[in-house]
Amino acid sequence: LSPKVKVIQHENREGCARSRLTGAKVATGDVLMFVDSHIEMESSTWYHHLAIPIVENPKTIAMQTIDVIDDLGTKDYGSGAG
């Protein structure tokens, strides 16, 4: 890992929300970003698409598009929701 990355571990399982809060409390960077394991970062510019709006307005919350997969199994990926 990069020396800029700090790994924090709880003694007991705390769940996603509490773990993120713990990380946020000790974060020292200008931009705080959480990326879940199901997020695909295929583009080399994924970070820029999320970080630029935050840098331009620090009160902004940026999030990735969530693909929609209907229950009929048709492939309508990329239309986004949320």
What confidence tier does 82 reach under pLDDT thresholds 50, 70, 90? very low
Which residue shows structure tokens 């009160």?
59
pTM higher than 0.75, yes or no? Answer: no
Average pLDDT over residues 23-38: 83
For residue 68, give the amino acid letter. Answer: V
User: Could you tell me which residues come within 8 angstroms of residue 20 by beta carbon, excluding any fewer than 6 positions away?
Assistant: 34
CA-based nearest residue to 9, from 28, 27, 22 = 22
- For the cut 90, the answer to whether the pLDDT of residue 56 exceeds it is yes
81 close to 68: Cβ distance less than 8 angstroms: yes
73 close to 61: Cβ distance less than 8 angstroms: no
